[in-house]
A = this chain, B = another copy of it.
Amino acid sequence: MNIRSVVKVLGFLLLVTAACLLLPALVAAIYGEPDWVHFLAAAGMGVVMGGSALLILRDAPDLRIREGFAVVAFGWLCVGLLGAVPYWLSGQIPSFTDAAFESISGFSTTGASILNDIEGRSHGTLFWRSLTQWLGGMGIVLLAVAILPLLGVGGMQLFRAEVPGPVAERLTPRIRETAKLLWGVYVLLTVLEIFALMIAGMGFFDAVCHSLATMATGGFSNHNASVGGYQNPAVEWIVIGFMLMAGTNFSLHYLALTGKLGAYRRDEEFRLYLGILLGSMVLIGATLFPVHFFASAHDTVRHTIFQVVAIMTTTGFGTSDYLLWPPVAQSILLGLMAIGGCAGSTGGGIKVMRVLILLKHAKLEMKKVLHPRGVFTVWFNDRSLSPALITNVLGFFLLFMLVYLSGVLILTLGGRDLVTSVGATAATLGNIGPGLGLVGPANNYSSFLDWEKWLLILFMLIGRLELFTVLVLFMPGAWRKS
């Protein structure tokens, strides 16, 4: 690996982040809050560090695929650490570990928070929290379209973008074009949500923050009680709609915008996504109704739909504390945390596409047992999948489970109870935010120890960057000079 080339690109990413830090500085200035200076200071740090890296290493060779992993993993980490600086400098989040947790939770679109008093934060801080998520979401779209297929990670070659067929060896103009189109969809939906929320009665600032957090499936809210804090059913229904869209493959939205509405119906992944959502809603709703958990049928339906969509899309917004619901809600939501959104969306988790391939493979293995001499193929959206791709997806699932179990083991080793450990690992590895036990929707991660927070930061990055990207860096082979 050529570390100079990697650092050069990291320098460029820091410069971009520095530019983005001007926005919360502006917001702070508009609201007359003193922390505009801390956002500017952080931006200055980014310019100095990023600029000097670019200057000193300007003749470093271009990136090769081998370096791609390091750029993605360290890029997210460095950007996240720079994003933590203003929280820390301004004293809005006094501990640097907490600031880093909040910032990386943002850039990884997780939405796990350490803040006990969200309403007491400055406007600049609240806006920056939401913006980090939105920027993270943009990064994820780029990653899914352009970078992961190149790196051959966990079946992402398959992701139904505009570019079918064999994967090119470098960013072709066509892939670049695709990324731009999907970013356009992302921006358009964000703007639409801002308008919709304002029409429903939300203020401009809150509408912007929540829209940024929704489309990234992030889940940071300006309320301690999350979206439920607005006590506004119309807002909740709007957020449900946009979370659903944020968890869907963006290229389907693009096709729909160009008039090909049938694309949704024809996509196998989208059908399974809706099926799982509907099934979960029915099962949870069926247990909530008989116990009269909510005052009215409308409340029961809305809270059920909201929570199922919020968790499966890995957004993590809340309107009700599902830990108080009947136990089946917890087991279903825990399952949805692992499944996550569609490939090519901003949702995290294993992804519906991979779950579909895994289910098809399981059926095929049973058929093989019955017909040992039969030859079978797994089909996905009318394409036959190669055995290598299926093994790759199986390997992804295996690594996901290994990291999951390691997380539970390490957290319980530190003394956390089993349910909290499972919940915290699932919620960070799947980039959801709220988990189970001590980190349920009515709580947050502030009570965790520093080492636990750094561990969960690592899980957020591992989950968000599709495991392989981060995990291969732990192999000595990745660092060998070539």
Contacts and interface: CB of A to CB of B under 8 A. Distances in A.
Given A287-B413, A394-B391, A366 B468 contact: yes
Interface string A394-413: 11111101100100110011
B395 A362 contact: yes
Interface string A352-379: 0000001101101111111110000000
Contact of A369 (B372, B401, B472): B472
Contacts of A152: 368-369, 372
Nearest to A326: B415
A229 interface: no
Nearest to A401: B401
B283 A413 contact: yes
A421 interface: yes
Contacts of A477: 367, 370-371
A29 interface: no
B417 A327 contact: yes
Interface stretch (A3-11, A251-259, A329-337): A329-337
The dominant DSSP class at the A interface is helix
A370 B478 contact: yes
B153 A369 contact: yes
A402 B372 CA distance: 23
Contact of A335 (B387, B405, B468): B405
B395 A398 contact: no
Given A361-B398, A369-B152, A416-B327, A335 B409 contact: yes
Nearest to A330: B418
A89 interface: no
A69 to B, nearest CB: 8
Nearest to A408: B331
Copies of this chain, count: 2
A263 interface: no
Interface residues of A, number: 59
Given A394-B398, A402-B362, A477-B367, A413 B472 contact: no
Contacts of A328: 409, 412-413, 415
Contact of A151 (B369, B391, B401, B478): B369
Contacts of A66: 370
A366 B327 contact: no
Contact of A331 (B362, B364, B399, B409): B409
15 contacts: A152-B368, A287-B413, A326-B415, A327-B421, A330-B418, A332-B412, A358-B398, A359-B402, A364-B395, A365-B396, A367-B475, A369-B472, A370-B475, A394-B394, A419-B419
Given A327-B417, A328-B415, A370-B478, 14 more contacts: A152-B368, A283-B413, A327-B421, A331-B412, A331-B413, A332-B409, A362-B402, A365-B392, A366-B468, A366-B472, A367-B477, A387-B391, A391-B391, A397-B398
